[in-house]
Structure 1
């Protein structure tokens, strides 16, 4: 009798963790967000879900989590799911214990300790006597040892809210973990904890993120596009290399097509000129030969028809080539269309002191914000990054720099002529104005109406967006409109201040922002923990609060 050989130790049958089949989602306003999406994720697979703003990444995660229902198709899951959302405002009235998922058990535990020995409390607790210890240990693990389980989420900072949800995931240990922009609001230390957590968790993951350092931790990339899901096997670096190669090939194709259009235009002009010369010679010969007027009219009409036919053939070819060129240009990365131009050239201020803080501090709730007073100088031409832990006063520092706040101690001197401040909420935009009205309000450079509209088009606002209210814009759209307003100014601001500009932006819009700011010729002060973003901006100095 034959003995069946043991399978090698590395053999493992792939177990599908969840499958999406023909998934369609339609907004309440009847607009279809995506249609007939199909893909699957296997056990322990960690995949990054990327795509432009508005393609439906967050909605897709909510569909998988079961928070909303699709119009068609189905989501099949095999195991437990935990979802860390991007926005937390709806949980502000929940306690930390409720977010961790143990409020009932904790209430029963506390009731028993208080002597309420009802059987119901023991049933709820289910012998889980270390529930409080586990919850507190999870919070401490995520750097929240001082946060009480009874604290309301609304009393916490953005970074602390993220950490509470990550502590819940750490406690829950699900089979499938869904993360929607988890590194938003986290300081550098929190980001490193998140990266380590993702490496250590032995479960399937699907994550939406613009954090390119985080994306390097995943073994596959799923790109959500208007036409469906495109799957890339391998790291984000490999995905980016493939995309860059495709973009290089596209640029070469555009250059080739532009050459074809020029050649076709030259050929059209030469052909028409030859035809006109031939017609003129023919007419002269006919006149010299004494051809009758009626015959001359017939020959002239024939020549005109021939010229018109030639012109029509060339025009049709030119229109075809131009359409192909327009389509190719439309497929280019959006960042390549953006350019900063100003009505007046910037004044060279290299080396001049623009901002000087001497022993500055500010009191908040009867307490100094900084344990040691700040002394800081910013010189023209510098590109400085401000970093620090959550709550260290980075935004306050930026508002003192721009003049929105004054220190309660020390001295601040501002020598800049103009500063432009883009905060996290893009509050320089008036939500009651349309996109076009906002652009015109910012237009102090004397740009004409058609020039303003051309600017809007360069910053990816087509004509059908011009009447859209600023209140309806996404984070990426608000960022692009703020940059458009900057480029419509008469003078280049001496100082540009950006407060966490990459929060809530997709990768495409981060690349747009990076490309635009890299061209800004003035002095830069930026608050960010996105190291790749800072590297690409050529930061010259980092100041830690």
Structure 2
């Protein structure tokens, strides 16, 4: 249990989704001042816990107590595109009242609206500037902002409120390198209680402690994420040694039990021979037989108890070793011959974003990365290639089956189960075939019957990826928009493994440089200054 003063406490917390899927059963956890990184595999309940703390979900049992005001940055930021920036920041009423007073309207309600916040506009512009949004006017509308700018704007609104407890759920989603650095600075400067869920190593290396949520329980580790990884690696190494020792003990106890049974069988045969030959008085032989039977019983029970205890120690040791299954993908139908054209972009000009001057061909199983700053137009270009948006001019031709996985993962129907969602994309497949394929994406048994609405961010991504890759016809061109958003580090590894097995062509928009390197990117397209241009793979320093 943590030793720091408590600002957030959860006692005997239990929660399950409406379909009966359990998340917590009697969880106890407390958070105090400082920065805490909340980590755990996708589906362990990290985002659910933040929602319970924020009061957005109600526990079935237990209590949540918070000292002070809470601010939460959700995993998926959605803002009304018609809102003005000042409305999104929550300062529109104070700003309007301030302007009215400055123009000579001394009505009392204006002074009540302003309160003591006379420098609200200056604070708002300063906060926006610190987050790299200084170029955004307070009168602009949200619809003019990129996804990354929307995340930073929501964070700016929280910083202006100055809540006592700040909850951040995957805050670096959609952010380029420059925006991430500004968020890192804001996190480091935070003086209250901060709880952050993230797969971003750089961000987690800026926290004071790690709370590891695993199998419904929390283990605390002092220090940042790097220190946590070292400690966890030592624990796992020790746990694996314990498993090996426990396995040896079980084998030894089994051998001793077998040896004891052999010895007892010999004694019984010897006693029977003596009885048959009647070499001793009947009463003596009877007493000897009873004594032997009692001794044999005690001996057998002793060895069986020892074997049972050894098996219990083995079970406990095995439980301490974390199981990390990998996604397995075998999709030969996605293979593309090296010289085949899978996509042609001919002087394409999307509705928003840069124009392609000339013709770009994608051939064979090439892997292209779209890079550029937030708002450069990467998502718009992908949606135009996928046929979701009509271009202003030019055209995109894909003579092979293609699938597009958007940032918001909205290809899933929340009212259907995982298996039912996949079946929508592969209507000719039988239920057994769908479930067998889903098992490769770690949805085994009852997990395939979970409602999509109850999935965590990482689980939802896995389900969406399964639906696209198992679709009929099999996609030979896959478009991915920020695929590592919402994924923990194990899930990023799962995704990398899946894409290594994928034999088709790939276009991915992503700010995660290590991920791009891991999936074997062969070409890079930079979106900058209203143009799309190819850059050399070894180029460094380009905007992300």
Shift of 1:49: 0.9
Q: TM-score, length-normalised on structure 2?
A: 0.71
1:185-334 aligned at under 5 Å gives the runs 185-244=174-233, 328=318, 332-334=322-324
Q: Distance in 2 between matches of 1:58 and 1:405?
A: 32
**Structure 1 residues 371 and 58, CA, compared in 2 at 3 Å: closer, same or farther?**
same
Aligned match of 1:7:
none
Structure 1 unaligned regions, length at least 5: 1-13, 266-312
CA contact (8 A) 2:479 2:507 kept: yes
Q: Is the alpha carbon distance of 1:229 and 1:406 closer, same or farther for their aligned partners in structure 2, counting shifts above 3 Å? A: same
In structure 2, the CA distance between the partners of 1:437 and 1:25, relative to structure 1 (3 Å rule), is: closer
Once residues 175 and 26 of structure 2 are traced to their aligned partners in structure 1, the CA distance between those partners, rounded to angstroms, is: 34
Of 396, 412, 425, which aligns to 2:380? 396
1:72 maps to what in 2? Answer: 62
Secondary structure of the equivalent of 2:7?
Answer: strand
Answering whether residue 338 of structure 2 is matched by residue 350 of structure 1, we say yes
> Kindly tell me: are residues 263 and 535 of structure 1, through their superposed partners in 2, closer, same or farther at Cα, counting changes over 3 Å?
farther
> How big is each residue's C-alpha offset from its partner over 1:319-367, in whole Å with a ceiling of 9 and x where there is no partner?
x989979995996544x3421123x4765633655333243213x3xxx
Q: 1:373 aligns with which of 350, 357, 373?
A: 357
SS of the aligned residue for 2:26 comes to strand
Q: Give deviations 1:422-444, integer Å, cap 9, x for gaps.
A: 22344554556543344445558
Residues 1:466 and 1:58: Cα distance change in structure 2 (over 3 Å): closer
Is contact 1:250-1:332 (8 Å) kept? no
Note closer, same or farther for the CA distance 1:82–1:250 as it changes in structure 2 (3 Å cut): same
Tell me the alpha carbon deviations over residues 493-538 of structure 1, each in whole angstroms, 9 at most, x when there is no partner. 4332211212233444333222222332333221111233223323
Find out whether 1:97 has 2:86 as its counterpart. yes
Deviation at 1:137, TM superposition (A): 3.1
- Structure 1 counterpart of 2:405, from 415, 419, 422: 422
Change (3 A) 1:215 1:531: farther
Contact 2:246-2:313 at 8 Å conserved across structures: no
Give 2:496's aligned residue: 514
User: Is the CA contact (8 Å cut-off) linking 1:402 and 1:421 kept in structure 2?
Assistant: yes
User: Does structure 2 conserve the Cα–Cα contact (< 8 Å) formed by 1:254 and 1:329?
Assistant: no
1:459–1:259 CA distance, 2 compared to 1 (3 A): farther
Query: Alpha carbons of 1:132 and 1:453: their partners in 2 closer, same or farther (altered >3 Å)?
Result: closer
| Pairwise CA distance, 1:249 | 6.7
SS in structure 1 of the partner of residue 38 of structure 2: strand
Instruction: Pick one of 26, 33, 40 that aligns with 2:31.
Output: 40
Mapped partners of 1:264, 1:515: distance in 2: 41
Alignment check: 8 A CA contact 1:355 1:378 kept? yes
What is the TM-score normalised by the length of structure 1?
0.71
Q: Is the 8 A contact 2:84 2:141 kept in 1?
A: yes
Alignment RMSD, CA only? Answer: 4.5
1:461 maps to which residue? 443
State the 1:231 CA deviation.
0.9
- Asked whether the 8 Å contact 1:494–1:523 carries over to 2, the reply is yes
Alignment of 1:494-533 (within 5 A): 494-533=476-515
Deviation at 1:222, TM superposition (A): 0.8
Which SS does the other structure have where 2:202 is aligned?
A: helix
Distance 1:330 1:541, change over 3 A: farther
State the Cα distance separating 1:183 from its structure 2 match: 1.5
Is it true that 1:536 corresponds to 2:518 in the alignment?
Answer: yes
Secondary structure of 1:16's aligned partner: coil
Over 3 Å counting, the alpha-carbon distance change for 1:340 and 1:72 in structure 2 is: closer
Quickly say closer, same or farther: Cα 1:390–1:383, change in 2 above 3 A.
same
CA distance in 2, matches of 1:17, 1:358: 60
1:7-26 residue pairs with structure 2 within 5 A?
16=5, 18-20=7-9, 22-26=11-15
1:431 and 1:471 in contact (8 A); partners too: yes
Greater Cα offset, 464-473 or 321-330: 321-330
Indicate conservation of the 8 Å contact 1:447/1:488, yes or no. no
Find the residue that maps to 1:110 and give its secondary structure.
Answer: helix
Structure 2 partner of 1:339:
328
Which residue of 1 is the match for residue 283 of structure 2?
none
Task: Specify the alignment match of 1:299 in structure 2.
Answer: none
452-461 vs 428-437, greater mean Cα deviation: 428-437
**1:207 positional shift:** 0.8
Q: Note closer, same or farther for the CA distance 1:224–1:249 as it changes in structure 2 (3 Å cut).
A: same
Question: Which position in structure 2 is the counterpart of 1:274?
Answer: none
**C-alpha distance in structure 2 between counterparts of 1:248 and 1:402, whole Å:** 46
State how far apart, in whole Å, the 1-side matches of 2:134 and 2:176 are: 17
